[in-house]
Amino acid sequence: MIIIVQGKNIKRFYRSIIKNPPPLAIITNSKFRIKQEKQLSGFKIIPSKTFSSRNRTQILPDLNICAQCRKELFTASDRRFLYPFINCTHCGPRYSIIINLPYDRKQTTMKQFVMCPDCKNEYADPNNRRFHAEPIACPVCGPEVRLVDKNGKEVPGEPLLNAARLLLKGKILAIKGLGGFHLACDATDNQAVARLRQKKARSRKPLALMVEAVNAVRQFCQLPRGAVKTLRSPAAPIVLLPKKIPPLIPVSPLIAPDNGSLGVMCAYTPLHLILFQKLRELCPQTPVLVMTSANFSEEPIAIDETELFSRCRPLFDYALIHNRKIANRCDDSVVQIDSGNPLMVRRSRGYVPQPLKIGPMFHVKHPTLAMGADGKTCFALGSGEAVIPGPHIGDLDSAESEIFFRSALKRLTEWSKIKPGRVVCDLHPDYSSVRLAEKLAKSYRAKLARVQHHYAHILSVMAEYQLPGPVIGLAADGTGYGIDGAIWGCEIILVNKDLSWRRVGNLKYLHHRAG
């Protein structure tokens, strides 16, 4: 971004911008230069130039609805009263709607919606909160919601009110969110939860929950220090929280059987918030919904109606759909709270694709693609002192997952201008991720490096906390292919200053009947 400023106290202005940037701004570096310019007047944002091969810019993740938009959403006199797609420069869709860079409306899936005069005025007004808010919309000119049955036939009446009625009757709904479809049902209805589990063939794995606000979470979960801040954060992830015993809301025991925790998120889009309001109007009990990805186990989340009805039709009874297209699929992020701080379990919506800074100690000399593991995989692109993580993909043993991996990788390499000169994968000879790495290394004409699974885990912790070697690391992760061809498990590894390593401790091997 280039900012041209004229007048007095320019240096003070520059320092104040660096010290106190706008709420969602991230300044990675800056330069100050005095230059002769013609006299300017007023405040203008000049249209972006074509995105050249030298440009590298950050892409904001999708953001939780802000307090101001939430207030307008439920203000009867506001022109966006109960409008499911209200947003501003502080919140709303970003990554999930971007087709190309630079980030202008015509480069997003909002390009099909022509702004009405009122939206145009807000978009062009520097004093307005929606000044250059690319997803700006209203009931006159923006996306619309529809409720359909599993055959695609529209259900007459108010979509969100009817959706709430169906949920309270025990029905399973597919709901289009920011980065894909969720499957939703009443979390206090044992029969509905059991039916959802049966349809997804998911017998024991915990299901995520969504509530309207933090006050609802308090009624069935404990809230350790830092949990409220994380639940209300711009990322609004799923937070793993200890169950409250006894709960004040009878959440079904089938949500997380034999598990002391529940994964809970607060409603982060206006559509979700309106749905919860309708549920409260119809039922006195505080509503809690199951909100799990619309997919079969470990397949990519469905992002459009074609995918939903072709792949996921057996999973739902009705679908709450809309006509704002999703360009980039992005599942919900999952965190747990450790000593008051969020600890990442699954990095995706709300965080991806923001770069992670790894510092000079782990400077990436050659642009690198890291493939991730085989299960619950995600990739990352590294260059210099930055690592750009890709979205959560799931297991890589299906054609759909590989297509998702390749499409997300293509976009992020184009946007970041990182062309991998090296591809790094697991040591296992028969992982799907390894076979894909071999293909990608060939297509990029890049070197292929194979790294032992547990050593990679310890290196990642060293990079995150900027720990120089020597370090003794304990990787209590699951199984990984060892350098001796055996299956390794709980490993103690010594990493030297030059990052060379050796195994100094491990659990005793077990003999397997298969040999």
Say if residue 167 is in the same domain as residue 295: yes
CB 423 within 8 A of CB 380: no
Please provide residue 237's backbone torsions phi and psi, each rounded to the nearest 5 degrees: -80, 175
Say if residue 181 is in the same domain as residue 227: yes
pLDDT tens across 418-466, in order?
999 999 999 999 999 999 999 999 999 999 999 999 999 999 999 989 9
What secondary structure does DSSP assign to 353-377, as a single string?
T--EE--GGG-EEEEEEE---SSSB
Burial class, 14, CB count within 10 angstroms (exposed 0-12 / middle 13-18 / buried 19+): middle
Give the 3-state secondary structure of residue 63: strand
The residue among 272, 301, 322 that closes a domain is 322
> Position 458: which residue type?
I
The residue among 322, 338, 368 that closes a domain is 322
Mean pLDDT of 71-77: 98
Mean pLDDT, rounded, of the chain: 92
Q: Write out the two tokens for 305.
A: 């109606």
Domain encompassing residue 240: 145-322
Q: How confident is the model at residue 398 (pLDDT cuts 50, 70, 90)?
A: confident
Q: Is the pLDDT of residue 52 over 80?
A: no
Nearest Cα neighbor of 265 from 300, 298, 285, 290 is 290
How much is the pLDDT for 50?
Answer: 55
pTM of the predicted structure, to 2 decimals? 0.90
Say if residue 476 is in the same domain as residue 416: yes
Q: Is the pLDDT of residue 5 over 90?
A: no
CB 472 within 8 A of CB 426: no
Mean pLDDT of 322-337: 97
Q: Residue 310 belongs to a domain with what CATH number?
A: 3.90.870.10
How much is the pLDDT for 8?
Answer: 75
Q: Is the pLDDT of residue 128 over 70?
A: yes
67, part of any domain? no
461, part of any domain? yes
331, part of any domain? no
pLDDT tens across 457-493, in order?
999 999 989 999 899 999 997 789 999 999 998 999 9
Burial class, 503, CB count within 10 angstroms (exposed 0-12 / middle 13-18 / buried 19+): middle
Mean pLDDT of 184-205: 96
Say if residue 313 is in the same domain as residue 385: no
Q: How confident is the model at residue 1 (pLDDT cuts 50, 70, 90)?
A: low
CA atoms within 13 A on the CB side of 331: 25
Taking CA 464 as the corner, what is the angle to CA 458 and CA 466, rounded to the nearest 5 degrees? 95
11, part of any domain? no
Q: Is the pLDDT of residue 19 over 60?
A: yes
Largest CA distance in the chain: 82
Mean pLDDT of 481-507: 94
- Map tokens 């309207």 to a residue: 212
Q: Is the pLDDT of residue 53 over 50?
A: no
pLDDT tens across 227-284, in order?
999 999 999 999 999 999 999 999 999 999 999 999 999 999 999 999 999 999 999 9
The residue among 267, 301, 322 that closes a domain is 322
Distance CA(116)–CA(137), nearest Å, equals: 8
- C-alpha R_g of the chain: 24
152, part of any domain? yes
Q: Residue 496 belongs to a domain with what CATH number?
A: 3.30.420.360
438, part of any domain? yes
Say if residue 368 is in the same domain as residue 460: yes
Q: How many structural domains compose the chain?
A: 2
Q: Is the pLDDT of residue 54 over 70?
A: no
pLDDT tens across 152-177, in order?
999 999 999 999 999 999 999 999 99
Say if residue 219 is in the same domain as residue 294: yes
Say if residue 312 is in the same domain as residue 416: no
Buried b (16+ CB within 10 A) or exposed e, 191-209: ebbebbbebbeeeeebbbb
- Map tokens 């009990």 to a residue: 285
Say if residue 192 is in the same domain as residue 255: yes
Say if residue 288 is in the same domain as residue 153: yes
447, part of any domain? yes
347, part of any domain? no
Say if residue 291 is in the same domain as residue 397: no
Q: What percent of the chain has pLDDT over 70?
A: 95
Say if residue 296 is in the same domain as residue 373: no
Q: Write out the two tokens for 229.
A: 């801040």
Most confident range, picked from 3-7, 22-26, 112-116 = 112-116
Say if residue 313 is in the same domain as residue 361: no
